[in-house]
Each structure stands twice: as structure tokens, then as C-alpha cells.
Amino acid sequence: MPAAADHDRFFARRRWMRTVLAGGGTLALPALAQSMDRPLDVPFVPTSDETVDRMLRMAGVGPKDYVIDLGSGDGRIVITAAKQFGATGFGVELNTERWKLSLRNAEKEGVSDRATFYQRDLFETDLSKATVLTMYLLPAVNLKLRPRILALRPGTRVVSHDFDMAEWMPDARADRSWTRVYLWIVPARVEGEWSWKQAVGRGAPEFTMELRQQFQVISGSVRIDNEPYWLTDARLRGDEISFTVIGDAGGVRIRHEYSGRVAGDAIKGTVRMVNGDNAAPQSAPWTVVRVPKKP
């Protein structure tokens, strides 16, 4: 099928689904909250095996992962994660027949010890064990889930078939045929003021950094002994953070490249320092702590 036709089919499908939601209908994509065994207003739309494989590969699923599928349908995502990628996990599904089918499919594929399923409302499901969260839901449901997803452990990977999460831009996106897959990495919370001391020349001035955050997008400013410097190339991916500080310190041109991991109110990592235009780079451990907010 030509690319233009694929594009038209994709957006026609999205418009149809949005129309169903706006009109008060219940789309039988996995997992809209509804009463047990309530008749479905729209036929169930399963995720193709090719898309399942793409979702799991985008998330980098492996044997150490715990996959939770919200709206597991016939169980194919969790079963594939267990059988093909060695992961463990569970799915939640409200419809009784599909829930029973997923249990039978897991047993048939020989992975029922690592892929299990519960008849449960996704909004009442504990997501804290997930290292990977998969879903094929409507935009309104994604947005309702978004605060809970952002509260998960930093670095948790979230994969959605077809639908995004509004202004939370994905870390990656893959388009193929008339389907679309989104990937997000749950970001650490780094907004606020941070402080550390770092040797520069003969001294050890105090660095203070103010970070602003919009999901995984960060920016900010830095001061050294209360003098402003440039903070550039700030990046956040899960709990991994990096940025560069540049400026003049006592007539010496400095460039400090920081990288580390966020653990609550601390960041630990390394700094690569160039103190002077012709100076050789030096590396050193680096630890920064968040400054408590004033009451």
C-alpha cells in the first residue's frame, strides 16, 4: 500500500476511535474501565504480532524485566515477552472470556509460570513492579493514567500502541504501515536547586544549580560562588542526567561536563574538567545534593 494511503488509514482510524470516545461509546481496546462482562460497544481490536514484537524491542525487553500490560486481551504481549524475550510479568483484562483465553494461551505456550493474568480494573492495579509498561488505550485513558505513570521508578519504559500522552513528548516513535508505537522513559524528578563544591584551579568554589523540568526536558542556570555561568546541553533520560557548565573563573576559561545518576535528592557521577584553553582534561568523581526548599 502506498505511504500516503497508509497515512490516511492511520488517521482515519484515530478519528474513528476519538469519535467513539466523544460519543460516550466504549472502545474495546484492552482495558477501558467498565463493569465486569458488560457488553462491549465496539469489537475488540487486537495488536498484531508484528506490532507486539516492535513494542517489546523498542522497550529493550529482556530477562530481567517485569512487564505489565494494561488491557491484555488474549495475553499476547505478556506471553511474547516471556517466550521470546525471557521476561516475567502480568496482564490485566476486564472481559471474562478474554481473561480466560489469556490464561489458556499462556499454558499452551508453556509460559504460565512467568506470564499470568488478572481480571481487574487497570485503575485499581498496582504498577510499582513494572520495569516495562505496555498499553493500547485511548488518549483520554492515557492522560488519566499519566500521573501514576510519572510516579513510577525513574527509568521505567512505557510503550503505547497508536496513542500518545499529549504534551509529554515520547523519547522515541516508530511508524510502520498504519500503526504507530511510542516509547517514554519515566524521568527522575530533578526540578529545584542543587549544590556542590568542585575544585577549580587552587580553590574549591561552591556551585549552585537551578533546574526547571517539563517531563524529561530540563533547562536551568548555574552559579559559581554566586557568579553566573552557562549551563548547556542538559539532558535527562530516566535517572541519567548530563549537562555542561562553561564560563570564565578568575580569568580561566572552564568547561565542565557532568554525567551521573539521580537517586532521590542526590546525584552521583563524574565530571570531565577543562580548566584553561590549553589545559588537558581531567576527570573526577562528582556528588551533588538537592537544596531543601525553604518553608
Those residues whose C-beta lies under 8 Å from the C-beta of residue 226, and which sit 6 or more positions away, are 208
Q: What is the pLDDT of residue 273?
A: 92
pLDDT (tens digit, 9 = 90+) per residue, 32-70?
A: 444 334 333 333 678 999 999 999 999 999 999 999 999
Q: What angle do CA 52, 56, 58 make, to 5 degrees?
A: 115
Question: What is the pLDDT at residue 138?
Answer: 86
Question: Looking at the domain covering 192-290, what would its CATH class be?
Answer: mainly beta
Residue 151 has pLDDT above 70, yes or no: yes
Same fold, 3-185 and 192-290: no
% of residues, the chain, pLDDT over 90: 72
How many whole angstroms separate alpha carbon 142 and alpha carbon 149? 9
C-alpha cell at 233: 546541553
Sorting pLDDT into bands at 50, 70 and 90, what band is 7?
very low
In whole angstroms, give the CA distance from residue 144 to residue 24. 16
Q: Residue ranges per domain, the chain?
A: 3-185, 192-290
* pLDDT in the model for residue 14: 52
Q: What are the tens digits of pLDDT across the range 224-258?
A: 999 999 999 999 999 999 999 999 877 788 899 99
Cell of 283: 576527570
Please give the CATH superfamily to which domain 3-185 belongs.
Answer: Vaccinia Virus protein VP39 (3.40.50.150)
> What is the pTM for the complete model shown?
0.85
pLDDT at 201: 64
- pLDDT of the residue at 205: 87
For 123, which DSSP code?
Answer: G
Beta-strand runs (E) in 179-265: 179-185, 192-197, 206-214, 217-224, 227-237, 240-249, 252-263
Predicted confidence (pLDDT) at residue 84 exceeds the cutoff of 50: yes
Average pLDDT rounded to a whole number, residues 259-275: 96
Higher-confidence residue of 177 and 174: namely 174
Mean pLDDT score of the chain, rounded to an integer? 87
**For residue 275, what pLDDT is reported?**
82
